[in-house]
Amino acid sequence: MEKLNFFQKIGFGLKKTRDNINKKLNLLFGKKIDEAFFDELEELLITSDIGMKMSEEISSKLRKIAGENAITDPARIREELINIISEQITPETSEKTARIVLVIGVNGAGKTTTIGKLAARFKAEGKRIILAAADTFRAAAVEQLEIWAKRADVEIVTRPEGSDPASVVYDAIDIFKARHADVLIIDTAGRLHNKKNLMDELAKIRRIIADKTGNSDTETLLVLDATTGQNAVSQARLFNEACDVDGIILTKLDGTAKGGIIIPISAELKIPVKYIGVGEQIDDLTPFDARAFTEALFDTDSDEQ
C-alpha cells in the first residue's frame, strides 16, 4: 500500500516533469529506432536536466541492449530505459531512522519546512520527536520551525537569535535524553559562501554529539530544491565535500519540470535520495523509491487522465 501511495503522489508531483519528457519522447518513439533515434534520445535526456554525462551513459547502455537483443518495439525500448535509469540511482540500504538527524541546505531550499514534515512523519510512526533550532543566525528560521513544531505537535528547543548553534545542540541533547525521545532533528545553518565556516560549525556540532552520545546512530541529510535544476548538483557536491552527506531530500518536485535532476545527483555523487517533497501539505514528504519514481516519470497512462 505504501508503494501505491508513493506512486500516486509522485504521479501528481511529477506531472510537469513527466509532461515535459513524454511529449518529446512520444514524438521520438514515432520514428525509426536507429542511430539517429539514440542521438535524439540523448539530447532529450540532457534537456530534461539529467545532465550530459549521465545522458550519454544512459543512451549508450540503451543502444547496446537494443542492438544485442534486436529490439525495435518502442514499448520495449521504454521499458529498458526505465530499467537503466532506475539502476543508476543509488539505493537507500537502511530502513532505520537515525536517532540524531542533522539537516543542512541553503536558505530557500525548503529545509525548515522539510524538518517539520519529517517530524510529523516520524511522530505518526509512534516516535517521540525533539527539534533543535540551531540555525540561530536567521531569526525567521527559528520562527518558522516553531510554527512547524506546533503543526506536528512536537517539542522544540530554541535559544535567542545569535546564540552559538552548538550550544543549542548541547542543550537539545540533554532534553532529548531526559525525555527518552526517539529522534532529535537538528536544523543547521547552510551557508555555502564560506565552506570553511560551514565545516567548522558542523564539526563542532558533531563533536558535541560524539561527546554526549558516543556519536552513534547519527546521519546528515541535505535538502535540495528541485526547481534549481543543475545548480542542485553543484550544491550537493559542495555540501558533500564539506560534511559527508548521508542522504538527500529533494523538495518542490511538484512545482518544476526539472524532476530528472534526481538521477545525476544520486548517480554521480553516490548519495541515496531518502525523501522527496511533492506538495505543500504536512504529509507530502515521502520515502523515495527509485523504481516507482522512474516508472512515474515515464508513465504515459497518467498523461491521459
Q: What is the predicted pLDDT for the residue at 5?
A: 55
At residue 7, the pLDDT reads: 55
The confidence score (pLDDT) of residue 298 equals 78
How far apart CA 104 and CA 224 sit, in angstroms, is 9
**CB atoms near residue 267 (< 10 Å):** 20
Q: What's the pLDDT score for residue 199?
A: 75
Question: Cα–chain-centroid distance for residue 235?
Answer: 12
pLDDT at residue 9, rounded to an integer? 63
* Nearest of 267, 277, 266 to residue 109 by alpha carbon: 277
Q: Are 157 and 175 in contact (CB under 8 A)?
A: yes
Closest to 239 in 3D by CA, of 193, 187, 290: 193
Work out the end-to-end distance of the chain between its first and last CA atoms, rounded to an integer number of angstroms. Answer: 21
CA 148 to chain centroid: 19
Predicted local confidence at residue 118, as pLDDT: 95
Which DSSP helix (H) or strand (E) runs through 186?
A: strand 183-187
pLDDT tens by residue, the chain, 305 residues: 344 455 566 666 677 777 878 788 888 887 888 889 899 999 988 888 888 888 999 999 999 999 999 988 888 998 999 999 988 888 777 777 889 999 998 888 889 999 999 999 999 999 999 999 998 887 788 899 999 999 999 999 999 888 889 999 999 999 999 999 999 999 987 665 566 777 788 888 888 998 998 766 889 999 999 888 888 888 888 888 878 899 999 998 877 767 788 888 888 888 999 998 887 788 888 888 888 888 887 775 654 44
Residue 285: other Cβ atoms inside 10 A: 24
Long-range contacts at 48-51 (CB < 8 A, ≥ 24 apart): 48/17, 48/20, 48/21, 48/258, 48/260, 49/229, 49/230, 49/258, 49/259, 49/260, 49/261, 49/264, 50/260, 50/261, 50/263, 50/264, 51/230, 51/233, 51/263, 51/264, 51/268
- What is residue 137's predicted lDDT score, i.e. its pLDDT? 81
Contact 294, 267 (CB under 8 A): no
Distances (CA, A) of 197 to 35, 210, 248: 50, 20, 21
* 288 vs 269: CA distance, rounded Å: 17
132/186 Cα distance (integer angstroms)? 5
CA torsion, points 199, 202, 203, 206, in degrees to nearest 10? Answer: -160
- Alpha carbon separation from 178 to 116, 119, 171, 175 (Å, rounded): 22, 19, 11, 5
Q: Are 221 and 254 in contact (CB under 8 A)?
A: no
